[in-house]
Amino acid sequence: MTLIVAAASPFHGHVQPVLTVASDLVRRGHEVVVLTGSRFAEDVRAAGALHVSLPPAADFDDRQLDLYFPDRAAFPPGPAQLEYDLKHVFGDPTAAQYRALRTLLARRFPASVVISDPLFLGATALSLSAPPGRRPVTIGLGITMPTLLSEDAPPIGLAMPPLVGEGAKKRHRAMNDEVREVFSGAQRHIEENFGESGTELPGFVLDCLVTAPDHYLQLTVPEFEYPRGDLPASFRFVGPLPAVPRPPRPLPDWWAEVEHTERPVVVVTQGSFDNRDLGRLVRPAVDALADEDVLVVAATGRPDGPAVIEAAGAVPANARIGGYVPFDALLPHASVLVTNGGYGGVHEALRHGVPLVVGGDGEDKPEVAARVRWSGAGVDLRTGDPSPAEVRDAVLAVLAGPGYRERAQALRAAFERHDALEAVAEVVEAASGPLPTATAS
């Protein structure tokens, strides 16, 4: 048995992948403590792990970011908001996270392995606090695109595929220099945060997120990520995590139509979190396809979703609106998924070989959409507020020929050649042993 600390920034999209890993490690007989936000205590216990809340300086409710970070709304999605988030949402909690980790390891739970999402910067500080062998083995889970700068691909934030041809590497390097300049203020701010924890950031923060851990396990396959010849030896593609088991829910009364229709089934969703304004993607998609020979299933991800959609206007005859619809049952019937582009949700669709139409902004969504386009598995709408006409044209393009589905199914086959949970377990079980005493100071 190995003692493991799993640390996650208090965001639903960060906590759930960590809990999937934690639950599997518990099943394998390991003992796991999850250090994360207080609101996730019940979820952690359901995974079979022990929950430890982050200290108040690092804890917040991701459903009310404007309450905790009132200045954030002034920064539009894109580089400006990313810089703000790096500074304040993820950077400012660094020292408090690090102290909480050190205290947990020294006084309560002498783990030999620490697993974290990349933006839990307290774990990055732990990786930098001492050489391997004098601290726990650290594992970074690549829950979104790798942030490491490369001469083989543009930096994140531009949502563009790699350039090709003569001069491509030179142009990528120039873009990297521009990004370092744009984020120079964030770099200084985060260096100060690391200084408060008694550690030193050895390079550009977006690089260190990937290079600092002893192992960095990227939760996708090479076929979905831009090729890079300069990845560190610690970096490994392990494939996506399996879908999160969910409690059984009753199927909607129109479910038989999904199972038996001969029309293409177009599934529309804004996920289970970024769905406060269903007028951004769900309603435009429902309206866009009203006159097409398809069955539209809108999975709103909220119990009042059907009422919200109906309040916005008459629901077309070919549309079925649900609150929580089980995707593991729905996606095998889908011909295309229209989504705002969360990393996990896109991989869930591709696990079923379903091509995509992606329309999202904010966080990592434009980068996910760009990779969907680059991989050939779908269409990138390049906006989080598409018009009905834009959605309709994209869906019809995906349905028009086999190319998108063939690429989605090729990615599904690539997924099947990997086992992310087994890869994590291999690293964990190779690092068994008590916490070195040097860390427990």
Q: Supply the pLDDT for residue 276.
A: 82
pLDDT-based confidence at residue 1 (cuts at 50, 70, 90) = confident
Is the pLDDT confidence value at 418 over 60? yes
Per residue in 171-196, pLDDT tens? 999 999 999 999 999 999 999 999 99
Per residue in 232-276, pLDDT tens? 999 999 999 998 777 777 899 999 999 999 999 999 999 777 778
Between residues 152 and 434, the one the model is more confident about: 152
Q: Supply the pLDDT for residue 186.
A: 96
Q: Supply the pLDDT for residue 166.
A: 94
Q: What percent of the chain has pLDDT over 90?
A: 84
pLDDT-based confidence at residue 209 (cuts at 50, 70, 90) = very high
Per residue in 35-73, pLDDT tens? 999 999 999 999 999 999 999 999 999 989 999 999 998
Which domains are assigned to the chain? 3-239+418-440 (3.40.50.2000), 255-416 (3.40.50.2000)
Task: Report the mean per-residue pLDDT for the chain.
Answer: 93
Q: Supply the pLDDT for residue 433.
A: 55
Considering only 148-157, 298-307, 399-408, which range has the smallest mean pLDDT? 298-307
Per residue in 337-396, pLDDT tens? 999 999 999 999 999 999 999 998 878 899 999 999 999 999 999 999 999 999 999 999
Q: Supply the pLDDT for residue 243.
A: 83
Per residue in 280-329, pLDDT tens? 999 999 999 999 999 999 999 888 999 999 999 999 999 999 998 889 99
Q: Supply the pLDDT for residue 115.
A: 98
Q: Supply the pLDDT for residue 70.
A: 94
3-state secondary structure the chain: CCEEEEECCCCHHHHHHHHHHHHHHHHCCCEEEEEECHHHHHHHHHCCCEEEECCHHHCCCHHHHHHHCCCHHHCCCCHHHHHHHHHHHHHCCHHHHHHHHHHHHHHHCCCCEEEECCCCHHHHHHHHHCCCCCCCEEEEEECCCCCCCECCECCCCCCCCCCCCCCHHHHHHHHHHHHHHHCHHHHHHHHHHHHHCCCCCCCCHHHHHHHCCCEEEECCCHHHCCCCCCCCCCEEECCCCCCCCCCCCCCCCCHHHHHHCCCCEEEEECCCCCCCCCCCCHHHHHHHCCCCCCEEEEECCCCCHHHHHHHCCCCCCCEEEECCCCHHHHHHHCCEEEECCCHHHHHHHHHCCCCEEECCCCCCHHHHHHHHHHHCCEEECCCCCCCHHHHHHHHHHHHHCCHHHHHHHHHHHHHHCCCHHHHHHHHHHHCCCCCCHHHHC
